[in-house]
Structure 1
């Protein structure tokens, strides 16, 4: 990679990791689709939900970059995309300020959302910020003790899908629960690829992900299972008459299976970053298919 000037705009863009924003967009997209299907979609709270999700994703990226560097996880043999603090693109002091600023901006957007939801959403917003830090910070960093997958289901499934719907509809339905579970599972395939690729480095760093705890073979099977189960759970939408929401996500199974086959074949090394890119693409495809299915 070409030289990146310390604390430059380019350095901050790289640290924000814009490719990860698809993971923030898909849950909000599904929450909006559920609200539209029930006739309650509103454009302003939808935009605010997207903004909050994007800011929290960037904030989490900054926090992870900062604390993984302090813990020595971003070693020279890192296989994933390069990190800003480890590469010296952003100084530690500047990253602290960046984290403070994005956290503050997320709080401002969250406050604006209260005009559409209510004070009951304050604890949810505070939990989002708290767990963004607890993921890699503190005496018991959750990502280092195998809780990452559970947190993805909660904070990329139930929280963004359910809260986006709630802000517009002030309600929670069976369909919201289904969409939350399947969204969390689909986005967890991204984390599973990351942890599968980094299993040897994570073991050396003391990061006990599910793949480190249970082995590479389990990681491969979990990746396949998450995608298949998410698609098949969508069949439950047919019960409430959303036939297209049940049918369209089944298209996702083929690219997911093909990506899994390539993942098994590659097995280890930097080449697994190709699988990360394909998984991100598949995740976005799934989100679009289910969104269309719910709106149709």
Structure 2
């Protein structure tokens, strides 16, 4: 029974999406390491906090999509544990508080190290993680989730990770942060493309639901291509780290997934594309890390 409960919570955490939290910390740490400014305890705290915020956001999404009636038996994505009756709403609500509380605890050390700017970033990250599906104006329900994801899982995450280690910020980190931001928006776009029919029946007006499949597919392609162009932009601006261009090769690895997104509409195919996009984000971050520190 304990094992089955653990499996339920793992399912609720949506592990395939967690690379969106892990990848920018890897990139930010690599950039700090290249500048001889790495601080491993701060990096670990940043990683833990980022993962907790991602899980907390996923739990919040699970809870409020159920209570708002968006998640029904007709959805074709992975199981949502609240809607499926695997977790009672009251327990999920408690889990949300616990997970965001853990993120806050990790943040206290980072605030002690990085000061008020990190406090502001941390609190906003938690706040917007909740407001993604909660409150009177849930971001994800009005097509603003893409902007939130790009900023907080891209630029803010990479820049913040670098800052808590180097106690400084350089423009290159903000530019580099755009890449995981684009990849994370691509993950969100596949998710919204898969759920487009169910969202249109409810009150969720994602960009895909508003503008259709053609728009969502174009957004996905644009995000993947833009992410893979970031290394070239960094080399052009800095005149350094030419090996980082190897990260652009992720575009070649993305071709099969691009084909799925551009041609398929069934849930299983798009679920596989979502998982593959998370793996592409991981591949990109690893190649970027190698290229930046060599």
Report the equivalent of 1:109. 106
- The alignment's TM-score, normalised by the length of structure 1, stands at 0.94
Report the equivalent of 1:276. 274
* Contact preservation (8 Å) 1:5, 1:89: no
Shift in Å at residue 7 of structure 1? 8.8
Shift in Å at residue 275 of structure 1? 1.0
* Contact preservation (8 Å) 1:185, 1:226: yes
* Contact preservation (8 Å) 1:189, 1:227: yes
* Contact preservation (8 Å) 1:6, 1:89: no
User: Which of the residues 136, 152, 159 maps onto 2:149?
Assistant: 152
Shift in Å at residue 197 of structure 1? 0.9
CA separation of 1:268 and 1:113: change in aligned 2, threshold 3 A: same
- The alignment's TM-score, normalised by the length of structure 2, stands at 0.95
Shift in Å at residue 22 of structure 1? 1.2
* Contact preservation (8 Å) 1:28, 1:164: yes
Report the equivalent of 2:134. 137
* Contact preservation (8 Å) 1:28, 1:161: yes
Q: Distance in 1 between matches of 2:292 and 2:234?
A: 9
Aligned to 1:85, the other structure's residue is in SS state coil
Report the equivalent of 2:11. 14
Q: How many residue pairs get matched? A: 292
Aligned to 1:86, the other structure's residue is in SS state coil
155-164 or 230-239, which deviates more: 230-239
Q: Distance in 2 between matches of 1:153 and 1:235?
A: 19
Report the equivalent of 2:168. 171
* Contact preservation (8 Å) 2:20, 2:180: no
Shift in Å at residue 34 of structure 1? 0.9
RMSD of aligned C-alpha atoms? 1.6
CA separation of 1:5 and 1:82: change in aligned 2, threshold 3 A: farther
Q: Distance in 2 between matches of 1:182 and 1:271?
A: 25
Q: Distance in 2 between matches of 1:280 and 1:94?
A: 28
Q: Distance in 2 between matches of 1:78 and 1:267?
A: 13
Report the equivalent of 2:60. 63
Aligned to 2:112, the other structure's residue is in SS state coil
Report the equivalent of 2:242. 243
Listed as ranges, the matches of 1:1-296 within 5 Å are 8-239=5-236, 240=238, 241-245=240-244, 247-296=245-294
Aligned to 1:101, the other structure's residue is in SS state helix
5+ unaligned residues in a row in structure 2: which ranges?
A: none
25-34 or 179-188, which deviates more: 179-188
